[in-house]
Amino acid sequence: MKLKIPYSIRKSLIKILPFVATAIMSTACHKEPYDVIIDWTWDGHGAAPSKEVIQKEINKKHVNMVFINFNETNATGWNPASFHKARDTLQTRLDIAPGRVRGMGTIYVCSDNGAHLPDATELLTAGMALEDSLWYTANGWKVRRLHPKWEK
């Protein structure tokens, strides 16, 4: 004896179609996390991007990281005290979302003294203190000596 079970593809599709549509819609609407890059230049005062701008970006649902990008410009005339002051300001920006706000880009320092000076409060010598060089590199920036023939 054969047992015949009636099967309708149309009825099956009608039953599963809402689930398929929901699955398609949820993957189509899912936005991948992305990174935001905020360009920063020394404006002569070491001003960093505003806290408000960084907070606004970090609050966006799909923002993964915010990078403060230092465009490759030379800062060879800066003394250790100026680099240290900029560091203190930048730390307040990194503290907005620890681990989600980082630096990027290259800071070029004086070719004569480099970034290994012993005193971060020095005002009369161009260059960067070692402690600040280590801080900048630990937080994403590169610190390099500017080749003497590139200095102006």
Percent with pLDDT over 70 in the chain: 70
Question: At residue 104, does pLDDT exceed 50?
Answer: yes
Q: Residue 61: what residue type? A: K
CB atoms within 10 A of CB 103: 22
Among 45, 35, 108, 43, smallest CA distance to 68 is for: 35
103, 139 Cβ separation under 8 angstroms? yes
Percent with pLDDT over 90 in the chain: 51
CB atoms within 10 A of CB 14: 10
- Mean pLDDT for the stretch of residues 101-125: 91
- Topology at the third CATH level for domain 34-150: Rossmann fold (3.40.50)
Question: At residue 144, does pLDDT exceed 70?
Answer: yes
pLDDT digits (tens, 9 = 90+) for 26-47: 555 567 889 999 988 765 555 6
Structure tokens at 10: 């149309």
> How high is the pLDDT of residue 5?
47
- List Cα–Cα distances, 44 to 17, 97, 124, 126, in angstroms: 62, 26, 16, 14
